[in-house]
C-alpha cells in the first residue's frame, strides 16, 4: 500500500490540474463570447466606440440648439485659457442657436494643479455654480497656475462667487466629483482626445486653426 501511495497522489494532482485547465478554458471562451465586437462606423471605416461623459453635462445654451460645441479642456492649459474668450464671444453672438458643453480633461503631468482645478470646478457645480468657477479659473489662470498651494486661492474664489466654503472644501473629494472626472476622461479617450483644447462641433472635431481665433470659431459655427 505504501508503494502505491506516491502513484495515487500523482494521479490526484494530475486530475485536479486537468480539471482546472478545462474550467479556465471554458470561462475564457464564455467571457470572449460575452464581449460584443465594436460597432462599425456609418461609413464602414474604423469602428467607433464613443461613450457618454458625465451627466448631466455642464452646458450653456438650450439643449435643442442647432449647433452644439463640446470642448475637452484643462483649466491650467494656457491654450485653453487663450481660447476661453473666443467661446465667450461666440456664446454672446449666437445666443439660443448655440450650446456649449464643457468636459473635464486635466493633463497631469505636465499641469500639476489641473486636477485640483477640475475638482474645484466640480465642487462648485455641486452648489449650482460650475460656470462661475469655470470663468473664475480661466480669467485668473496666470494668478494660480504657478502657485505652490492653490487651495487657499480656490477657496477665495469660492467665497467670491458665493459658495458655502466649508461644503466646497468637503465636496472636492466627493465621490460624485471623482466619478464625473472619470466619465468625462473616458469619453474623451473614446473620441481620441489626446490634448487640450479639443473641440467638437456637432460631433465633428474642429482643427486647431479654427478654434484658436474668434473669427475661425465664429466661421465654424456660422456654417452650421
Task: Give the pLDDT of residue 13.
Answer: 42
Q: Tell me if 32 is assigned to some domain.
A: no
> How does pLDDT run across 141-177, given as a tens digit for each residue?
999 999 999 999 999 999 999 999 999 999 999 999 9
Is 163:125 a contact under the CB 8 Å cutoff?
A: no
Q: Tell me if 202 is assigned to some domain.
A: yes
> How does pLDDT run across 84-98, given as a tens digit for each residue?
999 999 999 999 999
Q: Which three cell numbers stand for residue 44?
A: 464602414
Confidence of residue 224 (pLDDT cuts 50, 70, 90): confident
Predicted TM-score of the model (pTM): 0.78
Which 3 state secondary structure label does DSSP give 68?
strand
Q: Tell me if 15 is assigned to some domain.
A: no
> How does pLDDT run across 3-28, given as a tens digit for each residue?
544 444 454 444 544 443 443 344 33
Q: Tell me if 127 is assigned to some domain.
A: yes
Average pLDDT over residues 41-58: 69
Task: Give the pLDDT of residue 88.
Answer: 96
Residue 136, domain extent? 58-223
- Give 166-172's long-range contacts (Cβ < 8 A, gap of 24+): 167/126, 167/127, 168/120, 168/123, 168/124, 168/127, 169/123, 171/122, 171/123, 171/126, 171/127, 172/116, 172/119, 172/120, 172/122, 172/123
Task: Give the pLDDT of residue 213.
Answer: 96
CATH number of the structural domain spanning residue 154: 3.40.30.10
* Residue at grid coordinates 455642464: 58
The number of folded domains in the chain is 1
Q: How high does pLDDT run on average in the chain?
A: 85
Task: Give the pLDDT of residue 108.
Answer: 87
> How does pLDDT run across 95-116, given as a tens digit for each residue?
999 999 999 999 988 899 999 9
Amino acid at each position: 500500500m505504501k508503494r502505491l501511495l506516491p502513484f495515487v497522489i500523482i494521479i490526484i494532482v494530475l486530475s485536479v490540474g486537468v480539471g482546472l485547465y478545462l474550467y479556465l478554458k471554458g470561462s475564457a471562451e464564455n467571457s470572449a463570447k460575452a464581449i460584443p465586437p465594436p460597432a462599425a462606423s456609418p461609413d464602414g471605416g474604423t469602428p467607433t466606440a464613443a461613450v457618454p461623459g458625465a451627466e448631466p453635462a455642464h452646458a450653456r445654451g438650450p439643449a435643442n440648439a442647432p449647433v452644439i460645441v463640446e470642448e475637452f479642456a484643462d483649466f491650467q492649459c494656457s491654450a485653453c485659457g487663450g481660447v476661453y474668450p473666443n467661446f465667450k464671444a461666440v456664446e454672446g453672438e449666437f445666443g439660443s442657436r448655440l450650446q456649449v458643453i464643457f468636459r473635464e480633461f486635466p493633463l497631469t503631468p505636465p499641469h500639476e494643479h489641473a486636477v485640483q482645478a477640475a475638482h474645484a470646478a466640480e465642487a462648485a457645480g455641486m452648489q449650482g455654480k460650475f460656470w462661475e468657477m469655470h470663468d473664475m479659473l480661466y480669467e485668473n489662470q496666470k494668478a494660480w497656475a504657478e502657485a505652490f498651494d492653490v487651495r487657499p486661492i480656490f477657496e477665495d474664489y469660492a467665497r467670491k462667487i458665493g459658495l458655502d466654503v466649508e461644503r466646497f472644501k468637503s465636496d472636492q473629494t466627493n465621490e460624485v466629483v471623482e466619478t464625473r472626472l472619470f466619465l468625462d476622461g473616458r469619453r474623451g479617450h473614446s473620441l481620441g482626445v489626446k490634448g487640450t483644447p479639443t473641440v467638437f462641433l456637432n460631433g465633428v472635431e474642429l482643427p486647431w486653426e479654427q478654434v484658436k481665433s474668434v473669427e475661425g470659431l465664429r466661421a465654424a459655427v456660422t456654417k452650421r
